[in-house]
Structure 1
Amino acid sequence: MAGKLLLVDDEPGLREAVQAYLEDSGYVVQVASSAKDAWELLQQQLPDLVISDVMMPQVDGYQFLKQMRDDDRFKATPVIFLTARGMKADRIAGYQAGVDAYLSKPFDPDELIAIVQNLLERRTVAVAASQNPEMEGIAKQIAAELRGMLNPTSGIVKTPPPIRIDLTPREQSVLDLVAAGLMNKEIAKQLETSVRNVEKYVSRLFGKTGTNSRTELVRYALEHGLTN
């Protein structure tokens, strides 16, 4: 059964384009042009995943996410932020607010699909674990370890001990630009190389960090001090 998604974005052109791409990939998509409209839709039907812009009038993405996380019905609903705000502080604020993935505009639609698939698969595993006492215990232990990365008094992310990963100067440059939210074409232009070479460097970074997507790579790099 196709996943049910809720897409929230106040830009009509982008909203329609993303909706079309998601539907072409087999998902059922509801759309809202504001957080207020999205909240009303949530009362009618619980989606499997929410994709939301951050910069929206009246109620922004952070406020909308907090509203969701404060409601028991939506605490576990995966949320992806799509945003033009790609600074490190913005991404950290998003993760602290409880977002599951953070994708900077402009983004590759295929990457969005990969993130959606990954989060929905994890959600399926989590639901199965909740129905199995032994698996539920393991899931709670993992969740406790993740919560331990946040300082409960200051809310500041605790940086784990640095992990030594030998990166070449070019791999480091590519990692820094990926973390800045640039796509492969933009990285290739800035580094004066081919897109194919950038793809090779990104693949190497996936292998060296044990990640499977750009979002996981950026999160890993930020958490372990591999990029500024």
Structure 2
Amino acid sequence: MSAQLLLVDDEPGLREAVQAYLEDEGFQVEVASNAEQGWELLQQKLPELVITDIMMPHVDGYEFLKQLREDPRFKALPVVFLTARGMTGDRIQGYQAGCDAYLSKPFDPDELVAIVKNLLDRRAAQSPETGETPDIASLAREIGEIKSLLTGRSAIAQTPPPIKVDLTPREQSVLDLVAQGLMNKEIAKTLETSVRNVEKYVSRLFSKTGTNSRTELVRYALEHGLTK
């Protein structure tokens, strides 16, 4: 499955051209014309990398990046600045703000593709298919908390969900297995997929339920009857 990217730029012509080029290279690309729209798409799609302009109305690229880095879900999400501001001082400011790459307009599309592939490869290397999440101790603690919840699940009051949570069949399968106390590697083996894909599904579940940890996710699911 090809990587999913989010492109945020207020210039329609450039946005369409970059989207077409990246899709020709095999990427799935969601586009937004401003940071507000980009933030909404982030909640729905959870891309593997973001490409954003800096000079945009209302919320500029620096504010958008700050918003991303302050959210635990997107703290490590690779971000590429694609901008007309190409002076050395601008680049330094971009890297100090937390971007992973800085490409000045006009640019060679092949260079953008190379940057995107490099960042995705680096991210994949940091989450190897054969391992678990980097913080094993934290994950193990959460698994223990989940098992404690399951032991006392009869004491957790179930109420109708305040809003409809629209889960795909695969998201539901992952949720059910998380609720059983399985770790990502075990879930991946059960569903015959990769650990990286499991991590993506868990992140989507966090986003859709407004939770920030596996323990919170399981408690939410039990309280609202989202899992058996």
Q: Shorter-chain TM-score: which interval?
A: 0.5 to 0.7
- 1:45 Cα deviation from its structure 2 partner: 1.7
Residue identity matched to 1:94:
G
Counterpart of 1:17? 17
- 1:97 Cα deviation from its structure 2 partner: 0.9
Greater RCO (Cα-Cα under 8 Å, separation 6 or more): 2
Deviations 1:131-183 (A, max 9, x none): 369x889xxxxxxxxxxxxxxxxxxxxxxxxxxxxxxxxxxxxxxxxxxxxxx
Alignment of 1:1-228 (within 5 A): 1-128=1-128, 131=131
Instruction: Name the CA distance, whole Å, in 2 between partners of 1:46 and 1:130.
Output: 22
Instruction: Name the CA distance, whole Å, in 1 between partners of 2:47 and 2:28.
Output: 9
Contact 1:32/1:38 (8 A) holds in 2: yes
Residue identity matched to 2:105:
K
Instruction: Name the CA distance, whole Å, in 1 between partners of 2:130 and 2:92.
Output: 28
Contact 1:129/1:136 (8 A) holds in 2: no
Structure 1 residue runs of 4 or more that deviate by more than 4 Å after TM superposition: none
- 1:42 Cα deviation from its structure 2 partner: 0.7
Deviations 1:162-217 (A, max 9, x none): xxxxxxxxxxxxxxxxxxxxxxxxxxxxxxxxxxxxxxxxxxxxxxxxxxxxxxxx
Identity, % of aligned pairs?
Answer: 69
Instruction: Name the CA distance, whole Å, in 2 between partners of 1:49 and 1:130.
Output: 22
Instruction: Name the CA distance, whole Å, in 1 between partners of 2:27 and 2:77.
Output: 16
- 1:65 Cα deviation from its structure 2 partner: 0.3
Residue identity matched to 2:113:
I
The DSSP-based 3-state class of the residue aligned with 1:72 is coil
Task: Give unmatched runs, 5+ long, in structure 1.
Answer: 138-228
Instruction: Name the CA distance, whole Å, in 2 between partners of 1:61 and 1:43.
Output: 18
Instruction: Name the CA distance, whole Å, in 2 between partners of 1:97 and 1:129.
Output: 30
Q: Residues 129 and 92 (structure 1 numbering): CA distance in 2 closer, same or farther, change over 3 Å?
A: farther
- 1:130 Cα deviation from its structure 2 partner: 9.9
Deviations 1:89-111 (A, max 9, x none): 11111111110000000000000
Contact 1:10/1:33 (8 A) holds in 2: yes
Give the number of aligned pairs: 136
